Amino acid sequence: MKKNTTNTEELETRHRGNWKEKIKPYLYIAPAFVGIGLFTIYPVIKVLIWSFQKVNQLDTSKTKWVGMKNYSYLLSNGAFQKTLLNTFIYTGATLAIIMTCALILAFWLNKSQGHLTMFTQGAAFMPHVISSVSIALVFSMMMNPSFGLFNKVLTAVGLPASPWLTSSSTAMPSVVGVASWKAIGYYCLIIIGALQSISASIYEAASLDNAGAGVTLRKITIPMISPQLFFVMITMTIGSFKVFDTVRLLTDGGPNNATSVLVYYIYKQVFWESNIGRACAAGIVLLVLVGVLTVIYFRLLSKRVHYQ
Amino acid sequence: MNKRIMAAALSASMALGLTACGGAGGGASTTAKTEAAKTTAAASSTTTAAATTKAAASQSSDGSTVEINFWHSMGGKNGEVLAAIVDSYNASQSKVHVTATYQGGYYDSIANAQTAIAAGNGPDLIQSGTGQVFLLSGTEGIVANMYDYLDKNDGLSRDDFYNSFIYMYESDQNGKKFLSCLPMGSSTPVLYCNKTLLDKAGVSIPKTWDEMKEACATLVDGGYCDYGFAQPRDSWYFWMAIPNFTGKEAFSSDGLKLDCKDGAVKTYTFAQDLIKKNYMYPGPASEGGATINQMMQAQQCAFYINSVGGLKNQETAAEAGGYELVVSDVPAGATKDVPSGGNVLVMLEGDQKKKDATWDFLKWMYTSDDGIAKFIANSGYFAPTEKVKNSKPVADKLTNDENYKRAYSAIDNVNSNYYMVNGSSNLSTPIMTFMDAVFYDLEDPAAQYDVLKEACDEALAEANDK
């Protein structure tokens, strides 16, 4: 009888212990969850709700539900359509330019050694550590059509001057150029890191098999650095979709909305026009676009990514 | 076991901490935070947000001093002058203590105020731009009616203010005249001229737009400078151009439609022609002011149409460039009309004691030589009242600064009818787009006007949809 009582107590103790063991992980992750809930999930839900409302921040009793009106406005509005197109153009152009230049530069820097290489590597990375504000100010001066350095050089070599940031036809390429110049060094460094992690023995084996440079690049180098390339593509796409500072500082979205991009449009809706509902709807459009693109990337490219 | 208890306690406290940090829903902690923020007791006024936080943590020790939060948009030199003004007021009495906080540009300060008001944490007084006031006053119950105080005739009355700087903020609310703000540093566009260059080319200061075109032709075609006149990229100049050039109003009589096609097309076709010939230089989007200042200094440009608030900068550019600067009226078209602008002071609704204390500060600002008079004398802005104009600092400036004196004549030409339209502050973006299309891309003004009208009418309808 005494033994039975002892067994029951032991079971109870073990059960209590199990209960504590079960709750412990939840307690550990609770702070992070509370943080995510408050600072990520709650704001996203709030933005989603506001995107269906005409929000009056000053008098919330005047906030009213407008259904899909904010979305239908955006999708039928010429300025927003142009903004959306600009965002895709900016993203596509920066992605293509940065990836190409960063890859070429990384291959070159990875092959050569010496002081010049070190200097080039440092110089290429330098723009990344300079603040966007400084870069924008310097470039806006250099791109000034009347007294900027670029036009002085162009005219000195007999080429026609460009309006750079002051014409719809040249403003976006100018902004893309500045953004690419700033980012190439950073992505180049990531790719160099990936290239240096490839074991020399793989190249030795390839060379024993008489593999040419092209085959080595396609069959060894690219697949071996594909995880990093995939990471670069995803982060660069998301970053380009969220571009704001370069546009705000260089062109203010102009001229004639030629460089207006999604985040800048959202900023204008909030700060200039006090239209919170419409800004939130544009924010949701951005969220969906980035989400869809990320899924597409994963679907299309993840199979081509080779993890060691 | 102790470790487990410690871990659980740590987790719980972290969760609570995070919850408290994010708690902006109007609970007890938020209310306390709001009150703490409003009852600041900084030792002296400052221009940084950090100082406000510091001030928010402390409270008035004797309980008798009313604490006032004043958000302003003056950075740099003007910000320093404003901080000194607030310090002078705080030192002059002990009933009210004002804490001044710089909140960024006009749009930033209004956006910050909107968020703060929504969270029950708004300031008591805001300095903002003339074009941004309506973003607050458009909602009833947010902004205090300044007539409630001015009509007491307690040292400051409505008659003290120049009508041209105040009437556009007046409206009818529930059958009562309502004044949403008081002008602080008022401005109009003026024409800055490089007199040295004009003399060299044998050109006199243009009084009409036709004369301006002729002057620019002589200057540019004769190789005296690269451009005739420059103008910043700002929607303010849209409102200057149409009434001035054509004598026509921009809006329909009910204020719900943009109705100025003939005027806009005529004005902007003329302007576009000037741009094509380099007679006019429309400033760039980024660093437009700095760019044009540099061009003026390098004498690449003979004229500059800009706010009178920029007088100091132009005087500096002229000194550095080694030429004589003369300020004149903007050339006349069918009229000599120019819009007014600058900055205003907006008192927010709230606790009566705070409003009374804010009024005490405002009254001092408009009547003391250490108040707005000091701000006006240190910038190029116009005095908003006759008393401020006649104060010693401003009177001295008018005596010693010939250009400032000349600029004052522009007050007679002020026409700010566009401000009378509810929702006009939401039109900046489409107007800038229109101006960009016509100025930079040389698009057809008539076709671009149709695009502009559609966007403006939509924005006006939305702003008036109560």
Question: For residue A73, how many other CB atoms are within 10 A of its CB?
Answer: 17
Between A42, A254, A268, which is nearest B436 by CB? A254
Look at residue B133 and tell me if it is in a domain.
yes
* Average pLDDT score over chain B: 82
Average pLDDT for B309-327: 91
Beta strands (DSSP E) in A144-232 are none
A-chain residue closest to B290, CA distance? A141
Whether B122 and B165 share a structural domain: yes
Whether B119 and B182 share a structural domain: yes
- Binned at pLDDT 50, 70 and 90, residue A4 comes out as low
Look at residue B17 and tell me if it is in a domain.
no
Look at residue B411 and tell me if it is in a domain.
no
Q: Give the Cα-Cα-Cα angle B458, B462, B466 (nearest 5 degrees).
A: 155
Look at residue B26 and tell me if it is in a domain.
no
Look at residue B31 and tell me if it is in a domain.
no
Query: How many angstroms separate the CA atoms of A151 and A162, rounded?
Result: 6
In three-state secondary structure terms, B120 is coil
Whether B102 and B211 share a structural domain: no
Query: How many angstroms separate the CA atoms of A258 and B285, rounded?
Result: 12
Interface test with A, best of B440, B452, B462 (most A CBs within 10 A): B440
Per the rule left: phi > 0, alpha: psi between -120 and 50, beta: everything else, A156 is alpha
Whether B180 and B207 share a structural domain: no
Q: Is A273 on the interface with B (CB under 8 A)?
A: yes
Check: pTM over 0.90? Answer yes or no: no
Q: Are B101 and B51 in contact (CB under 8 A)?
A: yes
Look at residue B29 and tell me if it is in a domain.
no
Q: Are B194 and B332 in contact (CB under 8 A)?
A: no
CA distances from B318 to A138, B321, B331, B446 (A): 24, 5, 21, 38
How close A28 comes to chain B (CA, Å)?
A: 6
Whether B325 and B448 share a structural domain: yes
Between B111, B136, B300, which is nearest A271 by CB? B111
Whether B396 and B271 share a structural domain: no
The answer to whether the CB atoms of B19 and A28 lie below 8 A apart is no
Between A35, A140, A256, which is nearest B433 by CB? A256
Assign residue B452 the CATH number of its domain: 3.40.190.10
The answer to whether the CB atoms of B426 and A140 lie below 8 A apart is no
Interface test with B, best of A83, A135, A144, A271 (most B CBs within 10 A): A271
In three-state secondary structure terms, B191 is strand
Whether B349 and B319 share a structural domain: no
Look at residue B157 and tell me if it is in a domain.
yes
Domain count, chain B: 2
Query: How many angstroms separate the CA atoms of B466 and B462, rounded?
Result: 8
* Average pLDDT score over chain A: 88
pLDDT at B419: 54
Torsions phi, psi for A72 (to 5 deg): -65, -35
Q: Is A94 on the interface with B (CB under 8 A)?
A: no
Whether B263 and B323 share a structural domain: yes
Sequence-ordered list of residues with C-beta below 8 angstroms from that of A188, at least 6 positions apart, any chain = A101, A102, A105, A106, A109, A121, A124, A125
Q: Is A144 on the interface with B (CB under 8 A)?
A: yes
| B18-41 per-position pLDDT tens digit | 333 333 333 333 333 333 333 333
In three-state secondary structure terms, A251 is coil
Q: Up-side HSE of residue A201: CA atoms within 13 Å toward CB?
A: 0
Beta strands (DSSP E) in chain A are 53-54, 64-65
Count of CB pairs separated by less than 8 Å, A with B: 134
Whether B310 and B366 share a structural domain: no
Residues 9-28 in A contacting B (C-alpha not used; CB under 8 Å):
20, 24, 27-28
Rounded (10°) CA dihedral A69, A74, A76, A81: -170
Average pLDDT for B346-368: 94
Query: How many angstroms separate the CA atoms of A238 and B233, rounded?
Result: 31
Among the residue ranges A12-21, A231-240, B320-329, the one predicted with the least confidence is A12-21
- Binned at pLDDT 50, 70 and 90, residue A17 comes out as low
Spatial strand order of the sheet with B182-187 comes to B96-102, B66-72, B125-129, B341-347, B182-187
Final residue of a domain: which of B368, B400, B432?
A: B400
Chain B hits for A256, CB-CB cut-off 8 Å, are 433, 436-437, 440-441, 443
Query: B220 lies in which domain range?
Result: 189-339+422-463
Query: How many angstroms separate the CA atoms of B200 and B318, rounded?
Result: 16
The yes/no answer to whether this complex scores an ipTM above 0.85 is no
pLDDT at B288: 80
Look at residue B238 and tell me if it is in a domain.
yes
| B421-451 per-position pLDDT tens digit | 777 777 888 898 999 999 999 999 999 999 9
Whether B214 and B335 share a structural domain: yes
Average pLDDT for B59-79: 79
The answer to whether the CB atoms of A140 and B286 lie below 8 A apart is yes
Whether B91 and B228 share a structural domain: no
- DSSP secondary structure string for all residues of A25-79: HHHHHHHHHHHHIIIIIHHHHHHHHHTTEE--SS-GGG-EE-TTHHHHHHHH-HH
Query: How many angstroms separate the CA atoms of A106 and B181, rounded?
Result: 60
Whether B327 and B390 share a structural domain: no
B-chain residue closest to A62, CA distance? B466
Among B12-16, B195-199, B395-399, B456-460, the range with the most confident prediction by mean pLDDT is B195-199
